[in-house]
């Protein structure tokens, strides 16, 4: 099946760091998206973002992911590209409810530097992936979904420690600035093969 890089990046509702849909990034064709970082009842980041590829012609790159190799073997590179992400202070629309207006998220927790444009090198890989969070819990492997695609950032899209106003407590404990990989394209058929990446 042939797809453009743009459709692969944008047709996923979310790219997941964990299968609980708590920590995600999404990219939409209009150059907008979302970055969310939360755990249980705590939310630190629920920010809109703007994105663009550094080489605009790369969005039209056609990739045949069905013939890019066997997803049951080691992961392999489909594409590598540079992307610029800019977090916005605006809360994502699905969390703009009355009860969330008093929450301390986004700019109340992050310095102004967190909202400056940043460029990342991203590898789009095909394989048989658990989310990074699920890969840390091998005892629950049989219950966790598998994904056929992975975005591997050279640096985490979450703001680094020095861009948090007060990183003590949960941010230091969770170290989300080290989270670089996000999975997409949930593929139940991969689970049976038991390959972990």
- What's the pLDDT tens digit per position in 157-192? 999 999 999 999 999 999 999 999 999 999 877 765
Could you give the CA distance from residue 7 to residue 64 in angstroms, rounded to a whole number?
Answer: 12
- Identify the band that residue 56 occupies on the pLDDT scale cut at 50, 70 and 90: confident
* pLDDT the model gives residue 31: 95
Q: Percentage of the chain surpassing pLDDT 90?
A: 62
Give 95-120 pLDDT, tens digit per residue. 776 556 677 889 999 999 999 999 99
* pLDDT the model gives residue 108: 93
Is pTM beyond 0.95 here?
A: no
Going by C-alpha positions, the residue among 186, 191, 75, 195 that lies closest to residue 127 is: 75
* pLDDT the model gives residue 67: 47
β-strands 147-153, 76-91: how paired?
Answer: unpaired
């Amino acid at each position: 099946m042939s797809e453009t890089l743009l459709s692969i990046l944008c047709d996923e509702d979310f790219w997941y760091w964990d299968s609980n849909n708590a920590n995600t990034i999404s990219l939409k064709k209009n150059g907008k998206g979302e970055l969310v970082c939360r755990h249980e009842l705590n939310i630190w980041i629920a920010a809109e973002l703007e994105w663009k590829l550094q080489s605009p012609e790369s969005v039209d790159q056609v990739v045949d992911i069905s013939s890019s190799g066997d997803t049951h073997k080691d992961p392999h590179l489909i594409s590598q590209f540079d992307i610029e992400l800019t977090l916005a202070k605006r809360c994502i629309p699905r969390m703009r409810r009355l009860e969330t207006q008093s929450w301390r998220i986004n700019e109340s927790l992050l310095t102004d530097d967190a909202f400056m444009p940043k460029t990342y090198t991203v590898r789009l890989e095909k394989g048989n992936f658990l989310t990074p969070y699920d890969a840390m819990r091998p005892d629950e492997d049989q219950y966790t979904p598998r994904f056929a695609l992975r975005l591997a950032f050279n640096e985490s899209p979450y703001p680094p420690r020095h861009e948090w106003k007060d990183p003590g407590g949960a941010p230091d404990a969770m170290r989300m600035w080290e989270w670089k990989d996000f999975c997409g394209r949930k593929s139940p058929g991969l689970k049976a093969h038991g390959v972990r990446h």
